[in-house]
């Protein structure tokens, strides 16, 4: 794993010292809120509905056990004993006091974590595949590239005041688990050290699927090319209208060809200033830091025996495991979606348990996923029964990954000041409903995603079933979209029609699920496949039939 060097440490310590000073000056009145707000946002501190919120960056979602334990003790000491895993692989604390935040940041710095560039019009935390370095379907580990980009973008002097925020995602697998096509820039590895560059994707008010800007960029050119893209956007991006400021609009208004020409010209101009040999040497160093763990060979017998004897274990293994490149190992997804729980919330005790289990069984490697779960990427199959028992004891063995109750939900109006409706209770009720009906294993793969306003933090546009909470004349109302897809075949969902009241949205979702079960051509046809075959009409019928 990447370890901070002295430069990183000194940089963070200095930023924390500055922020401590800024907080003091806000409290003693020498800074106004207008002056203080951009400063606190640069340090990941938001003001929500009921309290402040601190957003901690977890670079490409990768953590070690010490870091997770530090997050647990921060939750206990300064928050309410839990943290919230977000769709950008970060962790949010919902209840800090302003006066405690400098101490929280210092505690984070002790384990090499911070909250810098988790807000503001900067290049945000780079996201990556939570199965990086482990998945059987991977070409190569994307994290060395993600780290290269993190180093380049952190405190980049030219890119601290972009027209709008800028989000980059990197994947090393043809199976897209990072929604590259909904990012400002998505990088998809197509061969070792070669990337397809996707630009101008995004959700929010004007959702757009990203377009291919470069079909095959060699890794040595990554930094000058990214610099050319962000530089082009920095000049061209609209600063007159916040809603037209993201690069997706810049690409849309100017056309992909124009943007490509400008980027190529800028690239030709600046590439000579980049030292390609140094980039390659740095990449080689980073690849060594992310070297594969020494996988041990554990007897397979306990795995075979448990699969045979314990149906609860088998059900969990069927949903929560993903093939590891080593046949004797598995990638374990720990569901933070117990039926009825708040999606993405994890208590401090659970964090400590996961840290311990990662040390015992998982080579000390932990990932946060954008689907708001936690992954142990390298577990020997023979250790899975023991791992499962330990998780079960802490309510962490829900067997629902990829199923109807594995819902992404943004904080919505329970926390977020921008929300137009709640999302968490809708997720809780849908999960409880499918559990009561015992239908989710029969339904199979299904992604339900819920946002509490058009900013789309819950990715509803790319949910197979997307739900958007709105305020219709002072009443919560929920709009449904169907057929969205965040995978390599990315697509935006289509709106079914008028929205549903808060007490009608869960029955409406149930009608969609029943219709699918009745209409599918056998168990092998997933919800998304059935939707693509059938279109909106049969679902509209069950939704709106009087």
Partner 1 sequence: MTRDPIVQVVTANALIEGDVVYLTASGDWTRHLTQAIPFADKAQAEAALAGAGRRASEVVGCYLADARQTAQGLEPVHFREDFRRRGPSNYAHGKQAAA
Return d(Cα 451, Cα 469) in angstroms, integer.
Answer: 6
Q: Is 480 exposed, middle or buried (0-12, 13-18, 19+ CB in 10 A)?
A: buried
Question: Is 92 near ligand HEM (CB under 6 A)?
Answer: yes
Dig out the tokens for 420 from the structure.
């137009």
Query: What is the chain's alpha carbon radius of gyration, rounded to the nearest angstrom?
Result: 23
By a kind-dependent CB cut-off of 5 to 8 A, residue 59 interacts, out of ligand SF4, partner 1, ligand HEM, none, with none
Check binding of 102 to partner 1 (CB under 8 A). no
**Window of 118-126, 244-252, 413-421, 443-451 that interacts with partner 1 by CB under 8 A:** 413-421
Q: Residue 425, interface with ligand SF4 (CB under 6 A)?
A: no
Indicate the helix (H) or strand (E) that contains 347.
strand 345-347
Integer Cα distance of 92 and 97 in angstroms: 14
Here's the x/- map for ligand SF4, 434-463, by CB under 6 A: it reads as -----------------xxx-xxxx-----
Long-range contacts of 229-233 (CB under 8 A, 24+ apart): 229/185, 229/197, 229/199, 229/263, 230/123, 230/159, 230/162, 230/166, 231/158, 231/266, 231/270, 232/259, 232/262, 232/263, 232/266, 233/162, 233/163, 233/166, 233/184
C-alpha to C-alpha distance for 16 and 13, rounded to whole angstroms:
5
451 binds, among ligand SF4, ligand HEM, partner 1, none (CB under 5 to 8 A by kind): ligand SF4
By beta-carbon proximity to ligand HEM, the closer residue of 46 and 361 is 46
Dig out the tokens for 514 from the structure. 């029943």
Q: How far apart are the first and last CA of the chain?
A: 57
Rule CB under 6 A: choose which of 42, 259, 410, 490 binds ligand SF4.
410
40 or 461: whose CB is closer to ligand SF4? 461
Q: Which of 24, 27, 278, 312 binds partner 1 (CB under 8 A)?
A: 27
- Calculate helix-pair angle for 311-320, 301-309, nearest 10 degrees: 110
Q: Can you tell me the distance from the alpha carbon of 30 to that of 26, in angstroms, rounded to the nearest whole number? A: 6
Site size for ligand SF4, by CB under 6 A? Answer: 13
| Candidate residues 80, 307, 339, 441; the one interacting with partner 1 per rule CB under 8 A | 80
The rounded distance, in Å, linking the Cα atoms of 94 and 412 is 13
204 binds ligand HEM (CB under 6 A): yes
422 binds, among ligand HEM, ligand SF4, partner 1, none (CB under 5 to 8 A by kind): partner 1
Q: How far is the CB of 420 from partner 1 (least distance, A)?
A: 9
> Scanning the structure block, which residue is given the tokens 């959702």?
207
Restricted to residues 332-351, the positions that interact with partner 1 (CB under 8 A) are 342
Q: Name which of 164 and 214 has its Cβ closer to ligand HEM.
A: 164
Site of interaction with ligand SF4 (CB under 6 A): 410-412, 416, 418-419, 451-453, 455-458
Site of interaction with partner 1 (CB under 8 A): 26-29, 32-33, 47-52, 80, 94-99, 342, 413-415, 419, 422, 424-425, 428, 471, 474-476
Site of interaction with ligand HEM (CB under 6 A): 46, 48, 53, 86-88, 92, 164-165, 167, 202-204, 246, 410-411, 416, 418, 455-457
């Amino acid at each position: 794993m990447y370890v901070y060097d002295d430069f990183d440490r000194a940089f963070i310590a200095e930023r924390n010292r500055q922020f401590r000073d800024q907080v003091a000056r806000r409290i003693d009145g020498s800074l106004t809120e207008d002056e203080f707000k951009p400063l606190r946002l640069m340090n990941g501190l938001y003001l929500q509905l009921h309290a402040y919120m601190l957003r901690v960056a977890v670079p490409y979602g990768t953590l070690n056990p010490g870091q997770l334990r530090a997050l647990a003790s921060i939750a206990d000491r300064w928050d309410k004993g839990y943290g919230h895993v977000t769709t950008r692989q970060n962790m949010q604390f919902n209840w800090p006091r302003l006066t405690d935040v400098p101490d929280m940041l210092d505690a984070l710095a002790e384990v090499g974590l911070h909250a810098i560039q988790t807000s503001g019009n900067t290049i945000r935390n780079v996201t990556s595949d939570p199965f990086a370095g482990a998945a059987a379907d991977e070409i190569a580990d994307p994290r060395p590239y993600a780290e290269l980009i993190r180093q380049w973008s952190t405190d980049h002097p030219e890119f601290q005041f972009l027209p709008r925020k800028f989000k980059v995602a990197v994947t090393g697998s043809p199976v897209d688990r990072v929604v590259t096509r909904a990012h400002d820039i998505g990088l998809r590895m197509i061969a070792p050290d070669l990337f397809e560059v996707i630009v101008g994707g995004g959700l929010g008010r004007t959702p757009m699927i990203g377009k291919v800007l470069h079909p095959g960029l060699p890794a040595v050119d990554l930094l000058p090319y990214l610099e050319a893209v962000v530089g082009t956007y920095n000049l061209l991006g609209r600063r007159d209208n916040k809603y037209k400021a993201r690069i997706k609009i810049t690409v849309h208004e100017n056309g992909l060809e124009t943007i490509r020409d400008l980027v190529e010209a800028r690239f030709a101009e600046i590439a000579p200033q980049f030292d390609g040999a140094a980039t390659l040497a740095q990449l080689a160093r980073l690849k060594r830091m992310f070297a594969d763990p020494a996988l041990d060979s554990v007897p397979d017998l306990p795995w075979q025996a448990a699969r045979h004897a314990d149906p609860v274990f088998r059900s969990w293994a069927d949903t929560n495991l993903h093939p590891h490149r080593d046949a004797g190992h598995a990638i374990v997804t720990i569901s933070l979606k117990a039926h009825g729980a708040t999606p993405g919330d994890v208590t401090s005790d659970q964090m400590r348990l996961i840290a311990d289990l990662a040390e015992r069984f998982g080579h000390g490697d932990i990932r946060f996923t954008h689907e708001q779960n936690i992954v142990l990427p390298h577990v020997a199959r023979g250790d899975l029964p023991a791992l499962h028992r330990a998780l079960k004891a802490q309510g962490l063995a829900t067997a629902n990954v990829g199923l109807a109750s594995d819902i992404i939900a943004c904080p919505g109006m329970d926390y977020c000041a921008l929300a137009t409706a709640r999302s968490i209770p809708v997720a809780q009720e849908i999960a409880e409903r499918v559990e009561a009906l015992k239908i989710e294993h029969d339904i199979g793969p299904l992604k339900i995603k819920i946002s509490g306003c058009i900013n789309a933090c819950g990715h509803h546009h790319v949910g197979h079933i997307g739900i958007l909470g709105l305020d219709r004349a002072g009443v919560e109302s929920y709009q449904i979209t169907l057929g969205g897809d965040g995978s390599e075949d990315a697509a935006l969902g289509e709106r079914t029609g008028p929205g549903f009241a808060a007490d009608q949205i869960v029955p409406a979702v149930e009608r969609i699920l029943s219709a699918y079960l009745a209409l599918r051509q056998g168990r092998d046809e997933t919800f998304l496949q059935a939707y693509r075959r059938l279109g909106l009409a049969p679902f509209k019928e069950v939704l709106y039939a009087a």
